[in-house]
Amino acid sequence: MPDTPTADIGVELRDVVKKFGEVAAVDHVSLAVRNKEFFAMLGPSGCGKTTCLRMIAGFERPTSGEVYINGEAQGATPPFERNVNTVFQSYALFPHMTVAQNVAFGLEMRGVAAPEVKRRVGEALELVRLPHLASRYPKQMSGGQQQRVALARALVNRPQVLLLDEPLGALDQKLRKEMQLELKSLQTQVGITFVFVTHDQEEALTMSDRICVMSQGHALQVGTPVEIYERPNCRFVADFIGETNFIDGTVSAVNGDFATLKTAAGMPVTGRIGGGPDARPTVGANATVSVRPEKITLAEKAPESGVNAHEVRVFSVGYVGSDTRVVVKLGDANIDVWEQNSVSTLDPNYFFRPGETAWLTFKPENALVLTS
Amino acid sequence: MMQRFRERPGLRLFSLMLPGGFWLIVFFLIPLAVIGAISFMGRDDLGSPTLPWTTDAYAQAFDPIYLQLFLFSMWLSLLTTLATLIIAMPVALFIARMPKKWRNLMIFLVMIPFWTNFLVRTYALLFLLRANGPMNNILMGVGLIQEPISLLSTPFAVWVGLVYGNLPFMILPLYSSLEKFDWTLIEAANDLGANTVKAFFRVMLPLTAPGLLAGSILTFVPAVGSYITVELMGGGKTTMIGRVIATQFGTAGNWPLGSAMSLILMVIVTLAAVLYFRAGRGERMAL
Ligand SMILES: Nc1ncnc2c1ncn2[C@@H]1O[C@H](COP(=O)(O)OP(=O)(O)OP(=O)(O)O)[C@@H](O)[C@H]1O
Ligand SMILES: [Mg+2]
């Protein structure tokens, strides 16, 4: 990302720290959001996502470091002078105003002439498909409708950046899925940069152009959904996004892009070296191989290539329709294996049974060696 | 249970009103009827009401001197309400923004003076304002005045007394409105381009209007009719309608006139309150 041209950067955090008392809620975070990008901030509860968003909006000031919007350092610029708008998790609609008045508020504050306010409010409500509810009060509407009003109220100002703090968090599962699609197509339509906070990884993966994974105030990795899933740069990201198996050991050989570990039981495991250019493992160091359940295959007989092939005992078998989720014992460790059910069969012998022995294999290029 | 109430709204209304209605009749409507009756009576030499019915008392009450006093009382009460509002708003805001665990303690502190006898507190105010008292000393110390001035027995003294006495009645309803206020709405307003002042007037004020209205009524109404404060702080030189009415039942010995003035005062204050609530209702409709 360092080679991204600056002209294309909409929002940037440079070495931002935010402390509440002694605790650093955000700890030396640097990240750059490109213009018109759908950018997700993903991480467990309390990792500092909201705090980052609030610093961009201007509700909080960084303890140190700086927030840039459009290349300009924001310093103490108050929220009402920043060209960003927020969709609050609680929506924060004004209860004493109708939907139309809520949406008009931002335009009125910026001194837009009345006829234009009316026109743009109409357009914005059209955009979120609520023009028929313009004269309702917020509490007369469902959660999903309120959510769309909050969106219209922010979008009507045509901000450069729209900040969304878990905007779908209060909706039920079905509505949530619908709104994800709607939000994504809306973003493409209006061409505004979205910074989207969520702790739902599936939401982040399906909607975003790029994702920033956070933990305990640190921005661990920024990348596309595929990069984040296929090339996690550390153990936390590999673990947090999707499911994975970790096989711990000490590095016994390094060979180009690949490294081999020996587990405590002496089994060799080889994988692609992950974690970025400055994270090359050295022989003798502790490391972990991360391999995702769907990248492992189970066979009844020993495979021809001996690399990453181990005899294991089947521990449990769970049939979930699209695939069968098998847990096998490699030494003491439980390894999850997801076998896709690509054959339509009723034959019980097609599936493994607990207690059987099997051979587990995965290709070194489908596994990652992580040192941190 | 609720279902049955819903089916028979008459029953529900009746059972809800029973305790309050009884209270209202015994302590409010009956005394009011007595006062109303007396106001249409004459009086004997000792001041006790007598028949036949007459409207003499009302003719007396509309004397320009009394009318002027009505107006003055309303004016001073209005100033009192304004001053309490200006003082109470920051206090209520301050308490409402404190961490939750401190808030009850602060409200408790606001209430504490109320457990002291009202007379004692008013005498304390007298002491503060008297010729050689702390207030004069401060004013002289700052160099605003050269020699002690008489602050007592002035409209100013009465005003100070009324503001002091009514302050909690403004703070408490304001606080209860502000405590429920959702502060992210202010952030939302800021986010949409409203500066602090605009956010206050467009979002906070309309949403806390119920507390503001209640506080104003709770301050204004007792202030107009107040008696003890006027008696002590006004020292007989500055007087308000409440004290004049009290005199009619006491030394002046004119019960019918006192009753008539009470009723007139009640009608005027009620009208004022209704108009005030009307003005505020538009804003509160949506809540
Ligand atoms: N105003 C505040 N005062 C003190 N601590 C705070 C404040 N705001 C946030 N924190 C702390 O900072 C850390 C990060 O909080 P933040 O709200 O940014 O987390 P988050 O990632 O948004 O979590 P969630 O998913 O639960 O919303 C938390 O430990 C939180 O307790
Ligand atoms: Mg949050």
Q: For ligand 1, which residues put their CB under 6 angstroms from it?
A: A 20, 25, 43, 45-51, 199
Helix (H) or strand (E) holding B59: helix B56-61
pLDDT at B151: 74
Q: Which of B169, B158, B170 is nearest to B241 (CA)?
A: B158
**For residues A34 and A195, is the Cβ–Cβ distance under 8 A?**
no
Q: Using CB atoms within 10 A of its CB, is residue B58 exposed (0-12), middle (13-18) or buried (19+)?
A: middle
Whether B88 has its CB under 8 Å from any CB of chain A: the answer is no
pLDDT at B13: 64
Whether B281 has its CB under 8 Å from any CB of chain A: the answer is no
Nearest residue by C-alpha to atom 30 in ligand 1 = A46
Residues in chain A: 372
Please tell me the distance between residue A45's alpha carbon and the centre of ligand 1 in angstroms.
8
Please tell me the distance between residue A52's alpha carbon and the centre of ligand 2 in angstroms.
9
Task: Reduce the DSSP state of residue A330 to 3 states and report it.
Answer: strand
Q: Are β-strands A245-255 and A286-291 bridged in parallel, bridged antiparallel, or unpaired?
A: antiparallel
Using CA coordinates, name the residue in chain B closest to A59.
Answer: B187
pLDDT in tens, A319-355: 888 899 999 998 888 899 998 888 888 888 888 888 8
Using CA coordinates, name the residue in chain B closest to A87.
Answer: B188
Q: Is the pLDDT of residue A223 over 50?
A: yes
Rounded (5°) CA angle B215-B219-B220 = 115
Average pLDDT of the segment spanning A241-247: 92
Identify the residue whose tokens are 């493409």. A188
pLDDT at A11: 92
Confidence grade of residue B217 (pLDDT, cut at 50, 70, 90): confident
Nearest residue by C-alpha to atom 28 in ligand 1 = A46
pLDDT in tens, B40-97: 888 877 767 777 787 777 888 888 888 888 888 888 888 999 999 999 988 988 998 8
pLDDT at B286: 42
Confidence grade of residue B278 (pLDDT, cut at 50, 70, 90): confident
Whether A135 has its CB under 8 Å from any CB of chain B: the answer is no
Separation of alpha carbons A163 and A167, rounded Å: 9
Q: Which of A25, A61, A36, A364 is nearest to A209 (CA)?
A: A36
pLDDT at A244: 93
Contact A85 B192 (CB under 8 A): yes
| Contacts of residue B10, Cβ cutoff 8 Å, sequence gap at least 6 | none
- Picking from B180, B181, B192 by the largest number of A CB atoms within 10 A of its own CB, the best residue to mutate is B192
Contact B192 A95 (CB under 8 A): no
Q: Which two tokens stand for residue A16?
A: 């931002």
pLDDT at B186: 93
pLDDT in tens, A260-288: 998 888 888 999 988 776 778 888 888 99
**For residues A346 and A290, is the Cβ–Cβ distance under 8 A?**
no
**For residues A248 and A288, is the Cβ–Cβ distance under 8 A?**
yes
Mean pLDDT computed over every residue of chain B: 81
Confidence grade of residue B2 (pLDDT, cut at 50, 70, 90): very low
Q: Which of A207, A205, A206, A203 is nearest to A194 (CA)?
A: A207
Cβ neighbours around A50 below 10 Å, total: 20
pLDDT at A120: 92
Task: Collect all residues of chain A within an 8 Å Cβ-Cβ radius of residue B188.
Answer: 86, 88, 92-94
pLDDT in tens, B173-208: 888 888 888 999 999 999 999 999 999 999 998 888
Using CA coordinates, name the residue in chain B closest to A111.
Answer: B193
- Domains of chain B, earliest start first: 63-286 (1.10.3720.10)
Q: Which of A114, A90, A89, A87 is nearest to A101 (CA)?
A: A114
Please tell me the distance between residue A213's alpha carbon and the centre of ligand 1 in angstroms.
16
Average pLDDT of the segment spanning A195-215: 92
pLDDT at B282: 52
Separation of alpha carbons A150 and A165, rounded Å: 12
Whether A20 has its CB under 8 Å from any CB of chain B: the answer is no
Contact B187 A80 (CB under 8 A): no
pLDDT in tens, B8-30: 656 666 776 677 778 877 788 88
Whether A137 has its CB under 8 Å from any CB of chain B: the answer is yes
Task: Reduce the DSSP state of residue A126 to 3 states and report it.
Answer: helix
Helix (H) or strand (E) holding B267: helix B255-284
Q: Is the pLDDT of residue B106 over 80?
A: yes
pLDDT at A274: 84
Whether A131 has its CB under 8 Å from any CB of chain B: the answer is no
Average pLDDT of the segment spanning A116-123: 92
| Contacts of residue B193, Cβ cutoff 8 Å, sequence gap at least 6 | A80, A106, A109, A110, A157
Q: Is the pLDDT of residue A197 over 70?
A: yes
Average pLDDT of the segment spanning A39-52: 93
Task: Collect all residues of chain B within an 8 Å Cβ-Cβ radius of residue A58.
Answer: 190
- Picking from A20, A105, A149 by the largest number of B CB atoms within 10 A of its own CB, the best residue to mutate is A105
Q: Label residue A191 left, alpha or beta by phi (over 0 means left) and psi (-120 to 50 means alpha).
A: left
**Among the atoms of ligand 1, which is closest to the Cα of residue A18?**
12
Dihedral (CA of A271, A274, A277, A279) sign: negative
Identify the residue whose tokens are 């940037």. A12
Identify the residue whose tokens are 């699609």. A181
**For residues B175 and B107, is the Cβ–Cβ distance under 8 A?**
yes
Cβ neighbours around A339 below 10 Å, total: 18
| Contacts of residue B32, Cβ cutoff 8 Å, sequence gap at least 6 | none
Q: Which residues of A271-294 are buried (b: 16+ CB within 10 A; e: fewer)?
A: bbbbbeeeeebeeeeebbbbbbbb
Average pLDDT of the segment spanning A158-171: 88
Residues within 5 Å of ion ligand 2, judged at the Cβ atom = A 50
pLDDT in tens, B229-275: 877 777 777 777 788 888 888 777 788 888 888 888 888 888 887 88
pLDDT at A53: 94
